Amino acid sequence: MAHHSDELIIEALDIHKSFGALQILKGISLQVRRGEVVVLIGASGSGKTTFIRCINLLEDIQGGRIRVNGRAMGYRERSDGSLVRDSERNIARQRRDIGMVFQRFNLFPHMTALENIIEAPIQVLGTPRAEALEQGRGLLARVGLADKASHYPSMLSGGQQQRVAIARALAMKPQALLFDEPTSALDPETVGEVLQVMKELAEEGMTMVVVTHEMGFAREVADRVVVLDQGELIEQGPPEQIFSHPSHPRTRAFLSRVL
């Protein structure tokens, strides 16, 4: 799709994550370059959502390193090599660089679409209100909702709410966007409008990491498809290669179930 540079935006190295005795991520490494669209696929429970939540520090990791724009995310290393979590303030500052779009929108129900979008730029970035309003209206137009500025989330369809959520993530001017199954909670008829917005972002050169079950989107929009299985990265490559000539038997088994 878009031309991406060699500049690394996200670098995850040997990420380990457990919930109690259950090992969810078993040493996953992934690099994402500026302007690249990376789509993560794999069976439910393979660790895809946990992995992108670790990139954004919504989950703690037990081992490995995450760097965004060349800076270590969220942890300082002790002299013995163990990791200490950084202050919440520093983490919040780093999170600005990575927008996140969740499965369940997470909009503030008591705020209009426009208010949802301008809240963080005003509170976190210190954007003057008039400027935030202008940017917010521009972002609503960009996701095809210019006429919904004064609507509350309850007045919007799921697809419209998710497009507001994308506009809200863009309002922070992130270096990259993470999408956690952004269409899985939507009615089938609104899935397309959300995927269309994501496709346009990809064409504009936004760096994106997308967890999705939408194989058509992965095939059409991804620069690279990454296959996770049981907490391991088993295969990655261009969509054509992964969908037409997967090399790993577990990839073949997964694709035979979903395609």
pLDDT in tens, 18-52: 999 999 999 999 999 999 999 999 999 999 999 99
Check if the beta carbon of residue 30 is closer than 8 Å to that of residue 233.
yes
SS3 107: coil
Closest to 152 in 3D by CA, of 121, 188, 115, 178 = 115
The predicted structure's pLDDT at residue 40: 98
147 has a pLDDT exceeding 90: yes
Which two three-digit tokens encode residue 206?
């936004």
The predicted structure's pLDDT at residue 3: 59
The pLDDT tens digits for 232-255 are 999 999 999 999 999 999 999 999
Check if the beta carbon of residue 108 is closer than 8 Å to that of residue 154.
no
Residue 91: band (very low, low, confident or very high) from pLDDT cuts 50, 70, 90:
confident
Which two three-digit tokens encode residue 252?
């073949």
| pLDDT over 90 percentage in the chain | 81
For residues 98 and 31, what is the distance between their CA atoms, to the nearest angstrom?
15
For residues 195 and 206, what is the distance between their CA atoms, to the nearest angstrom?
14
The predicted structure's pLDDT at residue 148: 98
SS3 147: helix
For residues 250 and 35, what is the distance between their CA atoms, to the nearest angstrom?
29
SS3 84: strand
Specify the residue for token string 């199954």: 181
For residues 152 and 85, what is the distance between their CA atoms, to the nearest angstrom?
37
93 has a pLDDT exceeding 90: no
The pLDDT tens digits for 215-235 are 999 999 999 999 999 999 999
List the 207-211 sheet strands across, edge first: 98-101, 176-180, 207-211, 37-41, 224-229, 232-237
Which two three-digit tokens encode residue 225?
């498809």
The pLDDT tens digits for 118-145 are 999 999 899 999 999 999 999 999 999 9
Stated pTM of the model = 0.93
The predicted structure's pLDDT at residue 105: 85
Check if the beta carbon of residue 226 is closer than 8 Å to that of residue 30.
yes
CB atoms within 10 A of CB 250: 18
